[in-house]
């Protein structure tokens, strides 16, 4: 039967030729349209490495010079520091808050701030990597690891900052940072050097951490540099030191937010500081995606993909539908000489599948050349290609190419099978005599 089907396809090569070229074009079109969206979805679906739910950032502001509430007397570095620490204490004592972190330089997830630097394994001449630095300030019980609920890469247990973290100049590395520096993750106790050639000891390795929701995890280090071991009072300290916190799991977030707005926020006024409110981490992430154009890019790619898929679906279903309908009489003949409905349907489905398969093979070869010369769609912010984690399919050229090609193949296959199945099923359902008179 398969041999006869192949012969029929070949003998109808003129009619099938047009469908074949249509499929070829559509295959290339789908490849180009689906690739960016698939990569964006894949990047976004990578685990953040921390629990975003329940996390907030405190929004502090200062009265401007022209404000009647502004007090020049309060603008003294020591006083400002005390006021800020007082706000931290006020926040820390809120019963709904489980833990908090004070970080330097807007170092919190999706803040948009990026503090990059290099780290060397053992000596300055050894293997090095570029990392994002999360400098945090270990004051008043601030614990960034606990607040983000970062998990130890080996045990999976939620990590906490060591009490002597600042004095021993300890650091915590993300899994990808450790792998890049040492090729392994069991590196607790290893020494490494920062750009000032200072020795730093690794106190823990946490699972890969996504600073931005839509990106792949960047190698990250949590450290407490000299300049942020203690809080320094200055005019801009509310911008320099960010207060993030996590509410307890059993706290109703809507109720807490309402209480914060009505009861807590007014109490956070110290000197020239006042509180604007709190912002959920998921809202921060959304704002970030919006501000950096990622939301628009995703929307654009989604719309292109939906539009493309709709066009392809309607066009290809129509093409195969017409092809199958034009052969209703043939279906009648086949039934008259003893072909069952299923035999006829399976023959038509096989024909469609063969046409699609051959066209996709050719379009895949064309796309292989295209990506070889133009590269894949990339949506990563790594400094170099060797920083890309090969475990993610979108970073491995062979896997990436295979995944998109398979998706394109499946879309076209399903489309052509639907376009064939419906008219052929209808044609086989009617009496053969009716089909034979359909001239």
Partner 1 sequence: MTIIKLTGIDKIYRTKEIETQALENVNLEVGKGEFLSIMGPSGCGKSTLLNIIGLLDSPTNGTIEMNGKLIDAKMSDKALAKFRNETLGFVFQSFHLIPSLNVIDNVQLPLIYRGVSHKESVERAKAVLERVGLSHRLHHMPSQLSGGQCQRVAIARAIIGQPEIILTDEPTGNLDSKMGAEVMDILHELNQKDGCTIVMVTHNEEQARQTSRIARFFDGRQVC
Q: Which residues bind partner 1 (CB under 8 A)?
A: 1, 3-4, 7-8, 11-12, 329-330, 332-343, 431-434, 436, 439
Give the nearer residue to partner 1 in terms of CB position, either 300 or 343: 343
387 in the Ramachandran plot: left (φ > 0), alpha (ψ -120 to 50) or beta?
alpha
337: how many CB neighbours lie within 10 A of its CB? 7
CB of 418 to partner 1, least distance (A): 22
Distance CA 330, CA 51 (A): 62
Distance CA 317, CA 26 (A): 12
CB of 15 to partner 1, least distance (A): 9
Give the nearer residue to partner 1 in terms of CB position, either 343 or 426: 343
CB of 346 to partner 1, least distance (A): 12
CB of 3 to partner 1, least distance (A): 7
Q: What is the DSSP string of 92-151?
A: HT-TTEEEEEEEESS-STTSS---EEEEEESSTTS-EEEEEEEEEE--TT--HHHHHTPB
CB of 334 to partner 1, least distance (A): 7
- Contact between 151 and 48 (Cβ < 8 Å): no
Give the nearer residue to partner 1 in terms of CB position, either 239 or 431: 431
Give the nearer residue to partner 1 in terms of CB position, either 89 or 343: 343
Give the nearer residue to partner 1 in terms of CB position, either 221 or 334: 334
CB of 365 to partner 1, least distance (A): 28
Distance CA 330, CA 325 (A): 10
151 φ, ψ to 5°? -105, 140
Distance CA 373, CA 367 (A): 10
Give the nearer residue to partner 1 in terms of CB position, either 11 or 402: 11
CA angle 200, 203, 206 (to 5 degrees): 120
CB of 324 to partner 1, least distance (A): 14
Give the nearer residue to partner 1 in terms of CB position, either 236 or 342: 342
Give the nearer residue to partner 1 in terms of CB position, either 3 or 196: 3
Distance CA 42, CA 371 (A): 19
Listed in sequence order, the residues at least 6 apart from 9 whose beta carbon sits closer than 8 Å to its beta carbon are: 16, 351, 354, 355
- Contact between 309 and 408 (Cβ < 8 Å): no
Structure tokens at 404: 């998109």
DSSP-derived 3-state class of residue 365: helix
Q: Which of 317, 341, 319, 318 is nearest to 435 (CA)?
A: 341
Give the nearer residue to partner 1 in terms of CB position, either 3 or 197: 3
CB of 328 to partner 1, least distance (A): 12
**CA gyration radius, the chain:** 31
CB of 377 to partner 1, least distance (A): 41
Distance CA 201, CA 373 (A): 44
Give the nearer residue to partner 1 in terms of CB position, either 163 or 338: 338
CB of 332 to partner 1, least distance (A): 8
Give the nearer residue to partner 1 in terms of CB position, either 88 or 435: 435
CB of 357 to partner 1, least distance (A): 19
- If you ran DSSP here, which 8-state letter would residue 252 be given? -
Distance CA 71, CA 88 (A): 21
Q: Which of 149, 75, 64, 136 is nearest to 104 (CA)?
A: 136
């Amino acid at each position: 039967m398969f041999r006869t089907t192949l012969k029929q396809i070949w003998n109808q090569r003129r009619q099938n030729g047009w469908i074949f070229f249509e499929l070829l074009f559509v295959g290339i079109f789908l490849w180009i349209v689906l690739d960016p969206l698939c990569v964006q979805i894949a990047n976004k679906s990578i685990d953040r490495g921390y629990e975003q739910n329940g996390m907030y950032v405190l929004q502090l502001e200062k009265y401007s010079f022209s404000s009647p509430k502004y007090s020049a007397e309060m603008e003294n570095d020591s006083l400002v520091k005390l006021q800020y620490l007082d706000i931290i204490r006020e926040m820390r004592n809120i019963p709904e808050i489980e833990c908090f972190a004070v970080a330097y330089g807007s170092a919190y997830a999706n803040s948009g701030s990026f503090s990059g630097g290099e780290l060397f394994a053992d000596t300055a001449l050894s293997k090095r990597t570029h990392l994002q630095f999360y400098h945090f300030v270990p004051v008043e019980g601030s614990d960034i690891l606990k607040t983000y609920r970062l998990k130890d890469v080996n045990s999976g247990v939620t990590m906490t900052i060591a009490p002597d973290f600042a004095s021993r100049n300890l650091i915590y590395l993300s899994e990808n940072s450790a792998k890049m520096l040492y090729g392994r993750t069991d590196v607790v106790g290893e020494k490494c050097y920062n750009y000032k050639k200072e020795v730093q000891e690794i106190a823990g390795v946490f699972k890969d951490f996504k600073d931005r929701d839509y990106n792949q995890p960047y190698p990250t280090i949590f450290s407490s540099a000299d300049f942020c071991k203690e809080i320094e009072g200055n005019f801009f300290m509310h911008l320099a030191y960010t207060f993030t916190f996590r509410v307890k799991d059993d706290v109703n977030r809507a109720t807490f937010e309402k209480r914060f707005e009505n009861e807590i926020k007014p109490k956070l006024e110290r000197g020239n500081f006042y509180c604007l409110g709190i912002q959920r981490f998921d809202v921060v992430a959304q704002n970030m995606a919006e501000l950096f154009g990622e939301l628009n890019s995703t929307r654009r790619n989604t719309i292109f993909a939906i539009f493309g898929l709709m066009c392809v679906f309607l066009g290809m279903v129509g093409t195969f539908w017409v092809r199958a309908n034009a052969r209703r009489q043939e279906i009648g003949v086949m039934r008259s000489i003893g072909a069952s409905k299923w035999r006829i349907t399976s023959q038509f489905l096989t024909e469609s599948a063969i046409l699609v398969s051959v066209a996709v093979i050719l379009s895949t070869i064309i796309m292989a050349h295209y990506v070889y010369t133009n590269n894949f769609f990339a949506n990563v912010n790594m400094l170099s290609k060797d920083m890309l984690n090969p475990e993610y399919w979108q970073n491995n050229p062979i896997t990436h190419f295979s995944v998109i090609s398979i998706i394109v193949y499946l879309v076209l296959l399903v489309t052509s099978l639907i376009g064939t199945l419906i008219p052929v099923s209808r044609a086989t359902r009617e009496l053969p005599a009716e089909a034979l008179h359909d001239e």
